[in-house]
Structure 1
C-alpha cells in the first residue's frame, strides 16, 4: 500500500464528508442553542457517524461477497455515485446524496435531538461516505493497511468534529459564499477521482 493510495483515500473521504461545507448547515440547524448544547450534539453526531462507518468498513467485504458483487463492479458503481456527489458540490446544492434535503432540514428543525438525523445521517455518514468506506475496505491487503485506513476514517471524523465545534468562527471568516467556493474546488477534485474509480473498475472487470 503506497502513500498515494492512502492520500487518495483520505482526500476522497474528506471531500465527501465535507467538514467545512457542513458548518453552515450545522449553524442553521442549531440556531438558538447554547454553545454547550451545540458541543453535545456535535460530539454525539460524530460518535454515531463513527459507529456507522465502522460497521460498513469492517463488514464491507462480507457484504459484497454475500451479495455476489465483485470489487470491479462496486468500484464502477461507487465511482458513478461519487461523481454525482461531485456534481452537487460543483453546483453548490444539497441533495439526498451528500446531505439532508430542504424538507428533511425543515423536519429536523422540529426535533429536540438532531444528532442522529440529519447530523450523523445523512450529513456526515451519508451514502457517499458509506460508499467511500466500502471502497476502502474492498482494497484488502494486510491488517496493518486496514488499520491505517481506519486511522484515515477517524482522522476525517476528528476534523469534522473540529469544524462543527468551530462553526461560528468558520462562518465569520468564510461566510456562505466562501464555503461554497471551497466546495466547488473540492468537487472538481472529487469528480476526477470518481472518474478514475470507474476507469479502474472497468479495467479490473476486463482484466486490463
Structure 2
C-alpha cells in the first residue's frame, strides 16, 4: 500500500503552509461580511475534488503539453517562493478579481485550491507516494472545513496581530520548502 506516516506528516505540513487557511481567516471573515453565509461543506468538498483530481490527471496534462514533473516542480518552487514573500513581507504580488459570491469561487478556488496548491501537489508527487498525498489532502481539507466553520471564533481568540504572526511564521516555513523543492528538482532538469 505504501502508507508512510513521515511522508503524510511532511506533505500535510507543506500543504497546510501553502493553503494557508489560518492566514486566510481575515479574507474569509471579509467574504462572510460581504456575502452573508459561507458554505463550508460545499467549499471543502469542491476544493478536495480539485486537488485530488489534479494529483491524478495533472501529470498527464503536463505530459500532453510536453512538460516533465521536474520542470513543473522547479517552476512551482518559484511560485511558492513568491507566495512566501507575500506572507512574510505583507505585500500582494498577485491580485485577484473581486467576487460576488463565496460558494465555489473564490473560496474553493482559488483561495483553498489555488495555483500554488496545484503546483505543490505535483511537486509532492515527484517526491512522495500518491496515497500519502491523498491522505495529506484529506487531513488538510478536514482542517480547512473546521477553520471555515469557526473562522469568526478563531479571529476573536487570536486577534489580528496573532493572525499576522502566524502568517509570517508559515511564510518562512514556505520559503524553506520552496528552496528545498528547487534544490531537489533542479538536478533532474540536467540528468
User: One fold, TM greater than 0.5?
Assistant: yes
Question: Which of 105, 117, 137 is 1:129 aligned to?
Answer: 117
- Which aligned pairs between 1:22-171 and structure 2 lie closer than 5 A? 22-31=24-33, 37-38=37-38, 41-96=39-94, 101=96, 104=97, 107-108=98-99, 111=100, 113-139=101-127, 145-171=129-155
Aligned pair count? 189
Gap runs ≥5 in structure 1: none
3-state SS of 2:33 partner? coil
CA distance in 2, matches of 1:45, 1:61: 24
Structure-2 separation of matches of 1:15 and 1:126: 13
Note the aligned Cα RMSD (angstroms): 2.0
Q: What TM-score do you get using the length of structure 1 for normalisation? A: 0.82
Shift of residue 178, structure 1, vs aligned partner: 1.0
Which residue of the other structure, out of 9, 12, 16, is the alignment partner of 1:10? 12
CA distance in 2, matches of 1:139, 1:61: 13
Deviates more, 1:166-175 or 1:198-207: 198-207
Q: 1:116 is paired with a residue of what secondary structure?
A: coil
Which is further off, 182-191 or 53-62? 53-62
Gaps of 5+ in 2: none
Q: CA–CA distance in 1 between the matches of 2:71 and 2:5? A: 25
Contact 2:7 2:132 in 1 (8 A): no
- SS of the residue 2:51 aligns to: helix
User: What is the TM-score normalised by the length of structure 2?
Assistant: 0.89
